[in-house]
Amino acid sequence: MVHLRNVVPVGALLSLVLGPLAAASTTAATQAPGSPGTGTTTYAASGWSLERPAQERLADLPEVLPDRLLTRAVGGRAALLALGDRIGAVAALNGRTTGELRHLLLTDATLVVTPSGRLAYEDRVAATDDPGDDPGDEGDDEPPVEEAVFPTSETFRLHSRPGAERTIHLDFDGTTDIGSRWDTEAPAAAPFSLDDDPAFSHREHATIQQVWLRVAEDFAPFDVDVTTEDPGRAALARSGTDDRVFGTRAQITSDVPVQGDLCSSRYCTGVAFVGIFDEPEEHEALQPAWVFTAYYNDATTIATTVSHEVGHTLGLDHDDKVDDDVQGYYPGHANWTPLMGSGPGPVSQWSNGAFEGSRNTQDDLALMIDRDPDTYAGGLSLVPDEAGATIASAASFVPVSGGLITHRNDVDVYALGTCSGEVTVRAAPARVSPNLDIELQVRDASGAVLGRDDPPSTRGDGVTADGMGATVSLQAEGELYARVDGVGTGDPTTAYDDYGSLGRYTLSVSGCDGGAGTATTVPDSPTVKKAKPGRKGGRRTAKLVWRAPATDGGAPVTGYVVLAHKMRGSEQLARSKGSKVLRPGRTRKVLRMPKGRWAFQVVALNDLGRSEPSKRSRAIRPR
């Protein structure tokens, strides 16, 4: 089991923890906090920086670590006491300098040294949150009902980048495959569940789909396949440095006993080994990264926890502030939250610690693509750029599948062809929890800016920010170009800059022969205006009225499908019905319905596919 330093008094730890270290000196425990170790560490007022005249590496140190270094996991000052003069070897095993490791143990109580000497983060409910009941207790609040985006038959077959050499498997259906470095006797972990039924309900399918969408957006800049389908051992395991096909598994589970076995704190939301994504020697023994849903089972929080724990496997530490206590997670500010912090902001992004008072100035993106075999980070690579950044290097077509902004200096320019009259160009980020805040420009062949849009981003509904997309409409003649850039909202000390403004986008164009008539994206969602019982007498019916999508995606809407969901309380059941395809001009429908309480959604179709369902209507009883 993972136990933190404050579970057992330091004195008692000498007999409980030291194990093979009983004869080791306690030099590290008596050294002043923050004082230099084998590697020199200097601390700045706004964070900390490193000076390494002689970088510690595992190869430079003798093989002094036994297979089981400690009898139990421990953190903080107690860990320094337990490690003694072997702190250098433990630091090197984890790709850190002695100074780095000492600093982290003294400033972050969620970091523990496990019995094998590997570092792990045991994440907890943020101090600003009310954890409520114990895990597994029934509370008064039901989890929010998520909307299914795909048929339930596709829930466990979702892929963000099929064919990529790297894989992040979101495992919701339980496992018996628990790596040997996890200090647990649990034989298995139960599946993710929102109820007591072992079968996945429609609501659970919808939540899983929404989690996948959000995690896929967080890792969109990287050449990695985020998938809900088990890719098999060969796609995840790494057998050595020559093995280029590998990944990690995020185990999302509602198993409270396993949570209690792996975590010392009852407020634990996740735990993961640090910097092991590309570990070549004992990769499987260090899997999976754990995500526990005992407190939070909404899609947004599950997804951010998954990305956070996978971030640890890629070598990332926590974002916090110098004036925080040793359990601090920075919650963010305005509508922004760092993924390696913990907060409610709808714009959650990777960070370089540019916010005011940051203790951790790690460059998240650089670490995640680090290729040095002696460091504790890395394993991913960026997706190749699909469009040039200038008029001369512009892509000659508007991509049907959309584009990507992969780093802060990435700008994509597209040739729109010959344009005439009213021209409208729309750039839309991911529909669910986008990380990309778009500035859109329309330029002429000389590069002159004819139109620009960068609306201010706001909190939106608290889950998805508003103002992340951009639209330019103008009267123009001749050759035009669209320029897409990821931007921020201002000074990162009080807002956010362009560092983490990355992700997918789609372009829709009208008025230009390079984009006109081409389905560049599926339509926007329709809007349900009214759902009410049918007329009294005769057959049981319901009447539904909706509004057409605000944007057709660049191609005409070809029809609508009405989805009907039988409800029990506020819970969406597995029983759903879909209408036949209705003609595109329709905006109302009288439906013959069975008994019960029913809610409705509408989906719009074009040549590229189907929109996301509209927001669900209120539940009614047909008559």
Contact by Cβ (8 Å): 522, 560: no
> What count of Cα atoms within 13 Å lies in the side-chain half-sphere of residue 485?
19
Burial environment of residue 29 by CB neighbours within 10 A (0 to 12, 13 to 18, 19 or more): middle
Of the candidates 267, 278, 308, 360, the residue with the CA atom closest to the CA atom of residue 121: 308
Buried-state track 178-188, b at ≥16 Cβ within 10 A, e below 16: bbebbbeebee
Beta bridge partners of 422: 475
- Residue in this structure with the two tokens 């735990």, named with its chain if needed: 271
235-244, 262-271, 541-550, 604-613: which range is least confident on average?
A: 604-613
Per DSSP, 395 falls in state B
Q: Please tell me the predicted confidence (pLDDT) of residue 73.
A: 85
> How high is the pLDDT of residue 261?
87
Task: Name, in order, each residue with C-beta under 8 angstroms of 233's C-beta and a sequence gap of 6 or more.
Answer: none
Give the pLDDT of residue 135.
47
Structure tokens at 135: 């895990």
Q: Tell me, what DSSP letter sits at residue 12?
A: H
Q: For residue 608, name the pLDDT band (cuts at 50, 70, 90).
A: low
**In this structure, are residues 19 and 89 in contact, taking their beta carbons and an 8 Å threshold?**
no
pLDDT-derived band at 12 (thresholds 50, 70, 90) equals very low
Within 8 A by CB and 6+ apart from 29, the residues are 77, 80, 81, 84
Please give the pLDDT value at position 184: 78
Q: What is the pLDDT of residue 568?
A: 76
378-402 confidence digits (pLDDT tens): 899 999 888 999 999 999 877 777 8
In terms of Cα–Cα distance, which of 443, 385, 394 is closest to 414?
394
- Calculate mean pLDDT across residues 568-588: 74
3-class state of residue 544 by DSSP: strand
pTM of the entire structure? 0.76
Confidence of residue 537 (pLDDT cuts 50, 70, 90): confident
Q: How far apart are CA 622 and CA 477, in angstroms?
A: 54
The amino acid occupying position 339 is L
Query: Mean per-residue pLDDT for 213-232?
Result: 95
Calculate what percentage of the chain has a pLDDT beyond 70: 82
- Interval 72-97 mean pLDDT: 91
Q: How confident is the model at residue 575 (pLDDT cuts 50, 70, 90)?
A: low
Nearest Cα residue to 590 out of 511, 531, 504: 531
Residue 29: the pLDDT is 35
List, in order of start, the domains of the chain with CATH numbers.
10-117 (no CATH), 130-310+362-368 (no CATH), 403-512 (2.60.120.380), 527-610 (2.60.40.10)
How confident is residue 326, by pLDDT bands cut at 50, 70 and 90? Answer: low
Q: Copy the structure tokens of residue 160.
A: 């963000």
Q: How far apart are CA 340 and CA 331, in angstroms?
A: 10
Would you state the pLDDT for residue 580?
A: 78
Least confident of 26-35, 148-157, 285-294, 491-500: 26-35
472-511 per-residue burial string, b: 16 or more CB within 10 A, e: under 16: beeebeebbbbbbbbbbbeebeebbbbbbbbbbbbbbbbb
Lowest mean pLDDT among 356-370, 463-477, 496-510: 356-370
pLDDT, tens digit (0-9, with 9 covering 90-100), for 275-312: 999 999 899 999 999 999 988 889 999 999 999 999 99
Contact 603, 561 (CB under 8 A): yes
Classify 154 as helix, strand or coil.
helix
> How far is residue 382 CA from its own chain's centroid?
16
How many helices (DSSP H) and strands (DSSP E) are in the chain?
A: 10, 25
Q: Which residues pair with 479 in a beta bridge?
A: 418
What confidence score (pLDDT) does residue 324 get? 63
Greater confidence, 250 or 62? 250
Mean pLDDT of the chain: 83
For residues 614 and 470, give the distance between their C-alpha atoms in angstroms, rounded to a whole number: 21
pLDDT of residue 17: 42
Separation of CA 508 from chain center: 26
Distance CA 187, CA 192 (A): 16
User: Using an 8 Å Cβ cutoff, are 427 and 438 in contact?
Assistant: yes
Contact 86, 21 (CB under 8 A): yes
Residue 14, pLDDT above cutoff 50: no
